[in-house]
């Protein structure tokens, strides 16, 4: 790792925090996973661009995370550099009916900004535990709403560190998918357009959204949210429950007894536990129903 000294100096010049051999279990909502070679907290688009160019030119493996709410990290960790788009890159501004967010801003914070500015259109997204950039990356949604309903445009860095602007029409937005999915292009800014509304009514809708989440989802356990994508023609949670898998365990991983669409960490789960349990679920559901379930979280590898 002869590049580490040079990377550390570059981060110092850019004002980015760097943590060598950083355990990633502290940076994902499943609370599992080993260390990366170093975690770098991004603080500007310019810094991200320069770091990507440095890593690419050196042939150095790197990965991107935000809140870590839709990823799984292997027990051995990630043999590369992780660029964290989080609290150091989380500015939110409002321009009329539009909200412009740096990609590290929490989606919940954007919802609060909307409510405080009497804007409606993203209440159902309140409570999704991810960043705005991560939400666009996977076209996150809940209760009949998704990012595709409100996004207007975004800025992103390509794998050469070049900045681009992309309009919604070119984002290839579909169920839990965007043009960014499966790529190392890095969303840096997202612009969303909402409608004028009543602040109190928006707040009431947000509170109702959280009430429904708390009532139905196992929010008191670490997880990556919905573990499987919705198969066409059915629901993963329904299929899992029909197969009698609610409460099924593997080590510290368990199919939630509160919501069978969630695999949760009972407090001591490993990546291996989660992987084995998910493999078993997929196999049994396929055998008993004919449906093939697909993991929703992305494995950082």
Among candidates 254, 287, 248, which has minimal Cα distance to 269?
Answer: 254
Would you list the DSSP string of 53-95?
Answer: HHHHHTT--EEEESS-TTEE--TT-EEEEEEE-SGGG--EEEE
Cβ-in-10-Å burial (0-12, 13-18, 19+) of 290 comes to exposed
Helices assigned H by DSSP within the chain: 3-14, 45-57, 107-116, 132-137, 199-216, 236-242, 271-289
Which residues lie closer than 8 Å to 60 by C-beta, 6 or more apart? 3, 7, 54, 80, 81
Catalytic residues: 176, 226, 296
């Amino acid at each position: 790792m002869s590049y580490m000294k040079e990377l550390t100096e570059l981060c110092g010049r850019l004002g980015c925090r760097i943590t060598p051999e950083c355990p990633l279990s502290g940076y994902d909502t499943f609370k599992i996973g080993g260390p990366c070679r170093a975690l770098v907290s991004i603080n500007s688009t310019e810094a991200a661009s320069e770091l990507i160019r440095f890593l690419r030119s050196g042939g150095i493996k790197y990965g991107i995370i935000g809140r870590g709410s839709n990823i799984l990290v292997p027990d051995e960790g990630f043999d590369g550099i992780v660029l964290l788009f989080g609290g150091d890159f989380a500015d939110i501004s409002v321009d009329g009916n539009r909200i412009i967010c740096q990609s590290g801003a929490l989606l919940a914070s954007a919802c609060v900004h909307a409510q405080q500015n009497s804007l409606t259109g993203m209440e159902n997204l309140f409570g999704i535990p991810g960043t705005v950039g991560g939400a666009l990356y996977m076209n996150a949604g809940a209760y009949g709403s998704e990012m595709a309903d409100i996004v207007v445009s975004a800025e992103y860095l390509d794998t050469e560190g070049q900045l681009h602007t992309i309009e919604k029409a070119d984002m290839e937005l579909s169920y839990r998918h965007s043009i960014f999915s499966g790529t190392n292009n890095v969303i840096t800014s997202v612009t969303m357009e909402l409608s004028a509304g009543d602040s109190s009514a928006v707040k009431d809708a947000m509170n109702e959204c959280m009430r429904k989440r708390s009532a139905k989802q196992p929010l008191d356990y670490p997880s990556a949210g919905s573990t499987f994508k919705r198969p066409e023609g059915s629901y993963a949670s329904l299929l899992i429950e029909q197969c009698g898998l609610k409460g099924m365990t593997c080590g510290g991983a368990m199919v939630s007894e509160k919501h069978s669409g969630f695999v949760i960490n009972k407090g001591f789960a490993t990546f291996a536990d989660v992987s084995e349990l998910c493999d078993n679920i997929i196999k049994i559901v396929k055998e008993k129903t004919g449906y093939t379930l697909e993991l929703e979280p992305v494995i950082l590898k």
